[in-house]
Amino acid sequence: MCRGNSTEGSNPSLSASLCARTTDRAHHLDCIVGSTLPLAASVSDPVNGDSLPDSPELLSYAAMAGYPSINLPVGFMFGLPVGLCLVGPAWSEQTLIKIAYATEQATKARKPPRFLPTVNLDNSL
Tens-digit pLDDT profile for residues 91-114: 999 999 999 999 999 998 888 877
Backbone angles phi, psi at 38, to 5 degrees: -85, 25
Within a domain: residue 13? Answer: no
Within a domain: residue 12? Answer: no
Query: What count of other Cβ atoms lies within 10 Å of the Cβ of residue 85?
Result: 19
**C-alpha–C-alpha distance, residues 82 and 6, integer Å:** 40
Within a domain: residue 53? Answer: yes
Query: In 3D, which of 26, 24, 23, 6 has the Cα closest to residue 15?
Result: 6
- The pLDDT confidence band at residue 13, using thresholds 50, 70 and 90, is low
Within a domain: residue 81? Answer: yes
Within a domain: residue 10? Answer: no
Say what the pTM is: 0.64
- The pLDDT confidence band at residue 7, using thresholds 50, 70 and 90, is very low
> What are the tens digits of pLDDT across the range 42-80?
777 778 877 666 555 445 678 888 899 999 988 888 888
Say which amino acid occupies 2.
C
Asked if the model's pLDDT at residue 5 lies above 50, the reply is no
